[in-house]
Amino acid sequence: MQELRVGFEGGRIVWVRTPAPEAFEAHLASFAITLAPGQAGEIALDAAPLYRHLSRALARGSVVTFDYGHRAPVLYHSLARPRGTLTVHSAGRRGGDPLERPGDVDLTAHVNWDDLSRAGEAEGLVTRGLFRQGHYLLEAGLFDRIEGDAEKWRAYRLIDPEGMGEELSVLIQSRGI
């Protein structure tokens, strides 16, 4: 396994391949994941410790997390995501080289929901569910709180089944409720 790091070469920002830390393989193995030869996948080793820290701070209530993401078997499926999930967003469009215009584009990579769920449960949280954003916001009564056509249109973009409503997920974990 190799890790891609960002380097500087010949006046350009480039990808630099280095041997991956053993922790990467151990992390994937903890979810019974083995990457296929040549497959890329993002690994966020700091995500679970941060989530555990946040979970410990919650005495009573819910942690509601919105993000792009999938459960580990889907996130790291070699046919679904052979190149991983690192994506460039700029001017309302998706695509491009993440190293081409640093600071001028937004970068995103998907969350491993199993990693966060496991971290919260290790701190005593109860997983209430993992939902698509559109479903969650409709069930939460999004349109009950909105007035006017312009606001309704902006809210629709959050639940649009052909857009953010299906692309983003919501993990809900709670304690004491």
* pTM of the entire predicted model: 0.89
**Residue 1 is assigned to a structural domain of this protein:** no
**Residue 29 is assigned to a structural domain of this protein:** no
* Domain enclosing residue 166, as ranges: 44-175
**Residue 69 is assigned to a structural domain of this protein:** yes
What is the distance between the alpha carbons of residues 85 and 25, in angstroms, rounded to a whole number? Answer: 18
- Output the pLDDT for position 68: 92
Domain count, the chain: 1
**Residue 22 is assigned to a structural domain of this protein:** no
What is the distance between the alpha carbons of residues 146 and 152, in angstroms, rounded to a whole number? Answer: 6
Per-residue pLDDT of the chain (177 residues; tens, 9 = 90+): 999 999 999 989 999 999 999 999 999 999 999 999 999 999 999 999 999 999 999 999 999 999 999 999 999 999 999 999 999 988 878 888 999 888 899 999 999 999 999 999 999 999 999 999 999 999 999 888 888 888 988 889 888 888 777 889 999 999 999
- Output the pLDDT for position 27: 98
**Residue 132 is assigned to a structural domain of this protein:** yes
**Residue 36 is assigned to a structural domain of this protein:** no
**Residue 19 is assigned to a structural domain of this protein:** no
